[in-house]
């Protein structure tokens, strides 16, 4: 069902996905390496051109994840982010060097406000740092990208000088970030035109744009950038990222595709993978997509009023400018039932792109059978949810063994739980609370002998219907570390308990990592900035 994606090289816009770098910097997102690899694999299936896999200097965990993606994922360029410091650039190279097509992305601010307040240096030093960083990166890697951070609030002439240095030192991609989401389309167009005029050699490299959505203009500004000559757009699935997030990948891709005949520009993204990628990122990050989100929101293709549906039936284009099948919605054709066997499950999972073998397949089959006992029809969405859920189990962490709860409007709730500790011992806990979920959370804290502060708690249904799987996301703070966990079950209390135990494990893992990092941080010359 894919639309024709042939496009000549001059008209091809490359998609640089930063879900795992800028997106992952959002509060409470704590993806482990396995989850990051799974997302990167799906991004490769989606056909993005570049995956920014992380910011390796910031933590051993980030380094490990970037390295794992570089070694596992084939197709896209795999890139890591670095400040201009030598150690940053070498950390990126260490992590990406085994990729089919590695890239080092280095950045430094060119705006006076950042130079004065964040870098606490001067323009001459910024030029020197940019020159040294690009030169060093080029010694290590043929593919180097440079970003003048906060460019849209910077003096365009100074930014042009810095970009010219980066090009001279061998950067093949110059990325212009609207770091704080401040610019507007006509202003950004003028800025880029001026930059081209000041640095004619920009025509010989790939110009890129990186826009934030603080004023709701990230997609429009990115599109303006493309019309002005940029041939790479930095964006993230579901538009996640610092603050209001980045340009939404699915929106810029479908904008270019839908209006292609007017502008002649397009990407080579396989758009039928958009919906699934969106669901995976939403599930792993715990960041729900609002109903009225363009392209991948629940309502993006829905029509409530009578005539609307009537109009759509009569002639789809009356009210729809895109076909839901082109973004991978309404492709939910896989349906298994309680009599489906291991082979049918394996085939279905394969069709969904999950490589599940051996013990993992046994686990998935067990979960599938348990679900099929409760639900008449197990759909592709259910399979995605349970396989993703199973993937979250790993060694050396807390696990929920069992729970019991009693509650009602005329009594106080009481919960008892059994939790398997990282040492493999079962610990039990008991607690009352404001409600049954609160009581279960209290009992888990008692069993784990840890105090946590609940930060966010959300529940959503995977599919429609009363027998739907519930998907719970818990965000909590333990030992000073904010972390999230997800759980999936037809029983909301069970899903909540599993999500809580996982969030707790993630927080404790994170706290351990952080302790190790604090030594490195003390040694570092300056704290790590958020990036473009």
Query: Segment near its own copies (CB under 8 A), from 124-132, 173-181, 193-201, 268-276?
Result: 173-181
HSE-CB of 50 using CA atoms within 13 angstroms: 26
Residues 14 and 123: their CA atoms lie apart, in Å, by: 31
Binding to its own copies in span 360-399, by CB under 8 A:
374
From residue 531, give the alpha-carbon distance in Å to each of 131, 141, 147, 178: 18, 20, 9, 11
Q: In the window 416-435, what residues touch its own copies (CB under 8 A)?
A: 433-435
Q: Which of 31, 44, 99, 180 binds its own copies (CB under 8 A)?
A: 180
Which residue number, 352 or 492, has a Cβ lying nearer to its own copies?
Answer: 492
The distance of closest approach from Cβ of residue 268 to its own copies in the complex, given in angstroms and rounded to an integer, is: 19
Distance CA 176, CA 173 (A): 10
Q: Return the residue of 7, 459, 511, 513 that touches its own copies, per CB under 8 A.
A: 459
Given 224, 237, 349, 364, the residue binding its own copies (CB under 8 A):
224
Min dist CB 504 to its own copies, Å, is 13
SS3 475: strand
Residue among 237, 403, 485, 502 that touches its own copies (CB under 8 A)? 403
Task: Give the helix/strand (H/E) hosting 314.
Answer: helix 306-314
Out of 1, 302, 449, 516, name the contact with its own copies by CB under 8 A: 302
User: Which positions from 235 through 254 interact with its own copies, judged by CB under 8 A?
Assistant: 238-245, 248, 251-252, 254
Which tokens sit at 527? 């704290």
Taking CB under 8 A as the criterion, the residue among 470, 485, 510, 532 binding its own copies is 470
Site for its own copies in 271-300 (CB under 8 A): 287-295, 297, 299-300
Q: List the x/- string, 109-138, binding to its own copies by CB under 8 A.
A: ----xx--xx--------------------
Task: Report 510-529 residues binding its own copies (CB under 8 A).
Answer: 526-529
Q: Per residue in 347-378, is it b (16+ CB within 10 Å) or e — as a string?
A: ebbeeeebebeeebbebbbebbeebbeebeeb
Query: Which residue, among 66, 1, 2, has the nearest Cα to 39 in the 3D structure?
Result: 66
Other Cβ atoms within 10 Å of 441 Cβ, number: 26
What is the x/- site pattern for its own copies, positions 47-86, by CB under 8 A? -----------x----------------------------
Q: Which of 134, 164, 166, 255 binds its own copies (CB under 8 A)?
A: 255
Minimum distance between the CB of residue 346 and its own copies, rounded to whole angstroms? 25
For every residue of 347-388, DSSP letters joined together read: HHHHHTT----HHHHHHHHHHHHHHHHH-S-EEHHHHHHHHH
504 touches 398 (CB < 8 A): yes
């Amino acid at each position: 069902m894919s639309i024709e994606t042939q496009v000549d090289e001059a008209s091809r816009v490359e998609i640089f996905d930063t879900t795992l770098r800028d997106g992952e910097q959002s509060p409470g997102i704590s993806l482990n390496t396995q989850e990051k690899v799974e997302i990167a694999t799906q991004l490769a299936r989606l056909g993005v051109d570049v995956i920014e896999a992380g910011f390796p200097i910031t933590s051993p965990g980030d380094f490990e994840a970037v390295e794992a993606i570089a070694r596992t994922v084939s197709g896209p360029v795999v890139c890591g982010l670095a400040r201009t410091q030598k150690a940053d650039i070498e950390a990126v190279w260490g992590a990406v060097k085994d990729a089919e097509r590695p890239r080092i992305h280095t950045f430094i601010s060119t705006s006076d406000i950042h130079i004065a307040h964040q870098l606490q240096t001067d323009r001459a030093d910024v030029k020197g740092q940019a020159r040294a960083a690009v030169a060093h990166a080029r010694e290590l890697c043929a593919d180097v990208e440079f970003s003048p951070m906060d460019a849209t609030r910077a003096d365009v002439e100074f930014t042009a000088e810095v970009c010219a240095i980066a090009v001279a030192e061998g950067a093949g991609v110059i990325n212009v970030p609207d770091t704080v989401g401040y610019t507007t389309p006509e202003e950004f167009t003028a800025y880029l035109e001026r930059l081209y005029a000041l640095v004619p050699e920009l025509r010989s490299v790939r110009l890129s744009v990186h826009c934030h959505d603080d004023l709701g203009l990230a997609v429009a500004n990115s599109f303006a950038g493309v019309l002005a000559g940029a041939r790479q757009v930095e964006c993230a699935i579901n538009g996640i990222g610092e603050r209001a997030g980045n340009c939404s990948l699915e929106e810029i891709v479908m904008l270019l595709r839908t209006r292609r005949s007017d502008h002649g520009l397009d990407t080579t993204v396989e758009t039928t993978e958009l919906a699934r990628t969106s669901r995976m990122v939403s599930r792993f990050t715990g960041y729900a997509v609002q109903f009225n989100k363009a392209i991948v929101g629940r309502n993006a293709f829905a029509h409530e009023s009578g005539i609307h549906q009537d109009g759509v039936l009569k002639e789809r284009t009356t009210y729809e400018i895109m076909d839901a099948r082109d973004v991978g919605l309404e492709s939910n054709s896989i349906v298994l039932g309680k009599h489906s066997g291991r082979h049918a499950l394996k085939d279905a999972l394969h069709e969904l792109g999950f490589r599940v073998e051996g013990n993992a397949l046994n686990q998935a089959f067990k979960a599938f059978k348990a679900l099929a006992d409760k639900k008449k029809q197990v759909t592709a969405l259910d399979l995605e949810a349970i396989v993703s859920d199973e993937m979250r189990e790993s060694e050396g962490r807390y696990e929920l063994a069992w729970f019991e709860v009693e509650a009602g409007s005329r009594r106080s709730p009481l919960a008892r739980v059994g939790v398997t500790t990282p040492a493999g011992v079962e610990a039990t806990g008991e607690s009352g609370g404001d409600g049954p979920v609160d009581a279960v959370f209290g009992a888990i804290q008692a069993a784990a002998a840890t105090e946590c502060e609940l930060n966010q708690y959300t529940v959503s249904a995977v599919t429609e219907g009363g027998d739907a799987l519930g998907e719970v996301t818990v965000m909590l703070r333990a030992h000073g570390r904010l972390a999230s966990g997800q759980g999936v079950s037809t029983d909301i209390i069970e899903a909540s308990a599993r999500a809580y135990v996982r969030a707790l494990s993630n927080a404790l893992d994170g706290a351990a990592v952080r302790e190790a990092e604090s030594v490195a941080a003390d040694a570092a010359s300056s704290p790590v900035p958020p990036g473009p």
